[in-house]
């Protein structure tokens, strides 16, 4: 900064002993100020007058990319017994749903599904479920009188299948947890017994 023209010329005024120099403003300061103000014009032109993506556009793009990824990984799943049973065998899908279950369901059912406010999902006693499609239905519409929320608006059909499969597969590992509620139901049919093969579910 030594080369800047600060000649340190004092003004003749003085306030309670405080004097002031008649120095110019630092040139870089002036230019940065001007540039920071000029930046507004291209920004507004691009994002508000032109075609720059809005925040909602960005969200849509993000969501579309994820939907594509889901589709690429699992195909377009529909909520029926064979599909739910088939996805239970998909280890990657079950691993992927573990986190989602922890985030959305564990508050009432605990992360391992052994139940706290909500029922134990690992035993053979169920309250509103006879088959795996009932699980999807309970998740979709909830049991509001019992505190189970409806998730239909938040999950796509594919996600609904995957979550239902995950919940159904918890039964493979019975945990002591919350005492059984509801009636005992038979084991889920085996995926092959439900009469499906790899190409089914279309």
Partner 1 sequence: MTASAQAIGPMETFHYDDAIVRKFTLATLIWGVVGMLVGLVIAIQLMIPEANMSSPYLSFGRLRPLHTNAVIFAFAGNAIFAAVYYSTQRLCKARMFSDMLSAVHFWGWQAIIVSAALSFPLGITQSREYAELEWPIDIAITLIWVVFAINFFGTLARRRERHLYVALWFYIATIIAVAVLHIFNNLALPASMLKSYPIYAGVQDAFMQWWYGHNAVAFFLTTPFLGLMYYFLPKAANRPVFSYKLSIVHFWSLVFIYIWAGPHHLHYTAAPAWAATLGMLFSLMLWMPSWGGMLNGLLTLRGAWNKVAQDSILKFFVVGITFYGMSTFEGPMLSIKIVNGLSHYTDWTIAHVHSGALGWNGFMTFGMIYWLAPRIFQTEIWSKKWMSIHFYIGTIGILLYIIPIYVAGLTQGLMWRAFDANGMLQYTDFIETVQRLLPMYWIRAIGGTLFLTGTVMCLINVLMTWATRKAPYEVPEQQAPALAGGYVDQPTPGSRLVAVTKLAHKLDVFSQMHWHRRWERLPLLFTIWVVVAVLVASLFEIVPTFLIKSNVPTIATVTPYTPLELMGRDIYQAEGCYNCHSQMIRPMRHETERYGEYSKPGEFVYDRPFQWGSRRIGPDLHRIGQTNSSVAWHVRHFNRPTDTSEGSIMPRYPWLLTETADFDGIQSRIDTMASLGVPYGEELQRAPEMARAQATEIFNRLIEEDPTYAGSDLEDKKVIPMIAYMLRLGTDIAKPLPEEAATEEVARLQP
Q: How far apart are CA 130 and CA 135, in angstroms?
A: 8
Residue 125: CB minimum distance to partner 1, A: 17
Among 107, 128, 141, 192, binds partner 1 (CB under 8 A): 107
* 63 touches partner 1 (CB under 8 A): yes
Residue 186: CB minimum distance to partner 1, A: 27
DSSP assignment letter at 145: G
* 46 touches partner 1 (CB under 8 A): no
Nearest to 77 by CA among 171, 170, 149, 155: 155
Q: Are the CB atoms for 168 and 121 separated by under 8 Å?
A: no
Nearer to partner 1, 22 or 172 (CB): 22
Among 69, 172, 183, 197, binds partner 1 (CB under 8 A): 69
Q: Which tokens go with 11?
A: 């003004």
* 49 touches partner 1 (CB under 8 A): no
* 56 touches partner 1 (CB under 8 A): yes
Nearer to partner 1, 144 or 199 (CB): 144
Q: How far apart are CA 96 and CA 169, in angstroms?
A: 13
Nearer to partner 1, 72 or 187 (CB): 72
* 5 touches partner 1 (CB under 8 A): no
Alpha helices in 39-193 (DSSP H): 40-44, 55-74, 81-88, 91-104, 106-109, 132-141, 157-169
Q: Which tokens go with 144?
A: 């509001």
* 42 touches partner 1 (CB under 8 A): no
Q: How far apart are CA 153 and CA 142, in angstroms?
A: 11
* 130 touches partner 1 (CB under 8 A): no
Q: How far apart are CA 90 and CA 70, in angstroms?
A: 14
Q: How far apart are CA 135 and CA 35, in angstroms?
A: 60
Q: How far apart are CA 70 and CA 14, in angstroms?
A: 73
Question: Residue 184's beta-bridge partner residues?
Answer: 125
Residue 149: CB minimum distance to partner 1, A: 4
* 156 touches partner 1 (CB under 8 A): no
Q: Give residues in contact with partner 1 (CB under 8 A).
A: 6, 8, 10-13, 15-26, 29, 32-33, 36-37, 39-40, 43-44, 47-48, 54-56, 58-59, 62-63, 66, 69-70, 73, 92, 95-96, 99-100, 102-104, 106-108, 111, 116-118, 142, 144-150, 153-154
């Amino acid at each position: 900064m030594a080369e800047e023209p600060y000649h340190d010329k004092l003004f003749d005024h003085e306030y309670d002993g405080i004097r002031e120099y008649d120095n110019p403003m630092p040139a870089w300061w002036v230019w940065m100020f001007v540039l920071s103000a000029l930046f507004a014009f291209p920004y507004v032109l691009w994002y508000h007058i032109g075609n720059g993506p809005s925040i909602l556009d960005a969200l849509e793009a993000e969501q579309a990319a994820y939907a594509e990824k889901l589709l690429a990984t699992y195909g377009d799943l529909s909520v029926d017994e064979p599909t739910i049973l088939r996805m239970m065998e998909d280890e990657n899908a079950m691993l992927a749903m573990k986190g989602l279950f922890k985030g959305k369901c564990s508050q009432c059912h605990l992360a391992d599904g052994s139940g706290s406010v909500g029922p134990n999902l690992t035993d053979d006693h169920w309250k509103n479920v006879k088959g795996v499609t009932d699980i999807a239905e309970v998740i979709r519409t909830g049991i509001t009188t019992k505190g189970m929320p409806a998730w239909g608006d938040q999950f796509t059909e594919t996600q609904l299948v995957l979550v239902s499969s995950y919940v159904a597969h918890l039964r493979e590992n019975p945990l002591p947890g919350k005492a059984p509620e509801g009636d005992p139901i038979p084991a889920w049919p085996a995926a092959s017994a439900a009469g499906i093969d790899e190409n089914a579910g279309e």
